[in-house]
Amino acid sequence: MTIADEIRNHLSADGIVQITTCTQSTIYKRRHADYFTMRDGSLYVRHGRHQNKLSIGERLLVAIRFGRLRPVNSTQQDKEFT
């Protein structure tokens, strides 16, 4: 399984992925799952009509964080903090 497959699977399961460079951070959600591809062994993400290269082979050029969205108005969350 490639990193692109892992990202697509995580996003399809209602997760979020944060891609961070030294100057910018972008959060991707479920609708962005098809933006991630592997080509020539490198990870790419779609950016408009172009593709941004996120890795050179196995070496990542960015930081990638996997996470989950928390509900804003959750009664469970309110119970935990009261």
Return the pLDDT at 82.
Answer: 42
Domain map (residue ranges) of the chain: 3-69
Full-model pTM: 0.80
Q: Per residue of the chain (82 residues), give pLDDT as tens.
A: 899 999 999 999 999 999 999 999 999 999 999 999 999 999 999 999 999 999 999 999 999 999 998 777 656 555 554 4
Q: Are 37 and 4 in contact (CB under 8 A)?
A: yes
Return the pLDDT at 75.
Answer: 60
DSSP output for the chain: --HHHHHHHHHHTTEEEEEE-SS-EEEE-GGGGGGEEEETTEEEEEETTEEEE-EETTEESSEEEEEEPPPTT-HHHHHHT-
Reduce the DSSP state of residue 4 to 3 states and report it. helix
Return the pLDDT at 81.
Answer: 45
